């Protein structure tokens, strides 16, 4: 699985610029929560994002 293009990886390695992974949409958690409520969400998502 490729997370970063080679050129970008080289830039980060050369400049020692931090690469910070994130999930901007939380795998749809917030839209699912809004549409269906907490009870309809998978337990794993609730444990991860509902705090």
Domain that holds residue 38: 23-51
Q: What pLDDT is attached to residue 2?
A: 63
Tokens 């080679």 -> residue: 6
| Predicted TM-score (pTM) of this structure | 0.44
In the chain, the number of structural domains is 1
CA dist 4 and 8 (Å) reads: 6
Asked if the structure places residue 17 within a domain, the reply is no
Q: In this structure, is residue 3 part of a structural domain?
A: no
| pLDDT < 50 regions, the chain | none
Give the CA distances from residue 5 to residues 20, 22, 23, 45, in Å, rounded to whole numbers and listed in that order. 14, 16, 18, 29
Residue 13 lies in a domain: no
Q: Give the pLDDT confidence score for residue 1 in this predicted structure.
A: 53
């Amino acid at each position: 699985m490729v997370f970063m293009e080679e050129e970008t990886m080289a830039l980060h390695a050369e400049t020692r610029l931090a690469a910070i992974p994130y999930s901007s949409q939380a795998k749809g958690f917030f839209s699912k929560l809004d549409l269906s409520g907490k009870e309809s969400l998978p337990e794993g998502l609730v444990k991860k994002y509902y705090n």
